[in-house]
């Protein structure tokens, strides 16, 4: 019995294409995956014609890129010959002859339908969880509001607590909610979360007192909560006592990756007669514990005449949770 080559023995759908994207051959497993009984009926046809119309420009661009000597990759859905819905991860690469010239193209299509389905189900569950958490936050917020009306002396504390809950609610929505419709592959990032949390202050608007710059970095779900608590606290304090409470003052947030650490600088500038706290409040204690215990990070802070200067250093390895 003749030994099978890689083309015939692969468990993926392999197709040999001409330089203009026409089908020359397909491996046995590919015929099975695509539910094709007779390849001769397809031989010489345009590969893109097998795909839904919406994906054909992507196919054509991939073929052109491979024919020019590069490797192209894309992911898209395409039904089989019998109409079975499947999702494919596709790699298109040039094949060179013995003289080094591009003689044909090789398209490798992997059936990732199961993975896509599982990811979709996970997203639905996550969104349902986010919806339930949001409802819980709303209920708790309402209970706090009712309690504060009945006890006027607790209104200041209640207001602060409701603000913190609001920040956590935004963080949950960012990780599990509608923001999951972002461009595939980008995921959650530090800057994305900060923009969500600091949006009420008009971040990066022409007239905003807030700016954000520097290197972004991806983050995991477990990192989001402590970061949300920290920046919600900083924003609230700046609005009450610091730069955001004074006309013309600004807050600059900058980030950088340095020596396996992610460094976040919070700098308030242009404020006048800032009152330095004489004792450590509950918010600061909460902030420090979140940083130290949940992120393994350190905080350096100094109160300057024009506002708070704070540096938070987080191990990059802890950003993904």
- pLDDT bin (cut points 50, 70, 90) of residue 1 is very low
Would you say the pTM of this structure is higher than 0.75?
no
Q: Is the pLDDT of residue 68 over 90?
A: yes
Predicted pLDDT at 177: 56
Helix and strand numbers (H, E) in the chain are: 9, 10
Please choose, from the candidates 240, 233, 230, the residue with its C-alpha nearest in 3D space to the C-alpha of residue 163.
Answer: 233
- pLDDT bin (cut points 50, 70, 90) of residue 108 is very high
User: What Cα–Cα distance (Å) separates residue 133 from each residue in 31, 84, 172, 287?
Assistant: 47, 37, 8, 22
Predicted pLDDT at 63: 96
Mean pLDDT of 165-169: 63
| Alpha-helix residue ranges (DSSP H) falling in the chain | 6-9, 28-33, 56-67, 113-150, 155-176, 190-198, 221-240, 282-289, 295
Q: Who has greater pLDDT, 64 or 163?
A: 64
- The first and second tokens of residue 79, run together, are 């039904």
Least confident of 69-73, 172-176, 267-271, 286-290: 172-176
**What span, in angstroms and rounded, lies between the C-alpha atoms of 202 and 8?**
59
Helix (H, G, I), strand (E, B) or coil at 22: strand
């Amino acid at each position: 019995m003749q030994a099978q080559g890689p083309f015939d023995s692969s468990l993926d759908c392999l197709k040999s294409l001409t330089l203009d994207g026409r089908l020359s051959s397909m491996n046995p497993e590919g015929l099975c995956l695509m539910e094709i009984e007779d390849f001769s009926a397809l031989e010489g046809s345009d590969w893109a014609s097998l795909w839904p119309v919406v994906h054909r420009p992507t196919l054509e661009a991939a073929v052109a890129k491979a024919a020019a000597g590069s490797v192209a990759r894309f992911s898209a859905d395409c039904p089989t010959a019998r109409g079975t819905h499947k999702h494919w991860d596709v790699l298109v690469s040039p094949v060179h002859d013995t003289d080094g010239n591009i003689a044909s193209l090789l398209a490798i299509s992997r059936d990732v339908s199961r993975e896509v389905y599982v990811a979709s189900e996970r997203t639905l569950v996550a969104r349902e969880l986010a919806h339930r958490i949001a409802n819980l936050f709303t209920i708790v917020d309402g209970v706090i509001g009712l309690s504060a009306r009945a006890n006027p002396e607790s209104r200041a504390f209640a207001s602060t607590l409701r603000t913190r809950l609001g920040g956590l609610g935004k963080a949950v929505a960012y990780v599990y909610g509608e923001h999951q419709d972002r461009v595939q592959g980008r995921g959650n990032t530090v800057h994305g979360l900060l923009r969500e949390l600091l949006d009420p202050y008009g971040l990066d608007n022409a007239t905003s007192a807030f700016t954000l710059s520097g290197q972004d970095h991806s983050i995991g779900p477990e990192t989001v909560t402590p970061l949300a608590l920290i920046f919600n606290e900083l924003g609230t304090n700046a609005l009450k006592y610091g730069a955001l409470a004074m006309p013309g003052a600004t807050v600059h947030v900058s980030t950088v990756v340095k020596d396996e650490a992610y460094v976040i600088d919070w700098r308030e500038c242009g404020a006048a007669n800032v009152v330095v706290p004489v004792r450590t409040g509950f918010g600061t204690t909460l902030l420090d514990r979140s940083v130290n215990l949940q992120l393994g990070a350190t905080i350096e802070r100094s109160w300057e005449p024009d506002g708070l200067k704070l540096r938070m250093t987080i191990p990059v390895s802890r950003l993904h949770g």
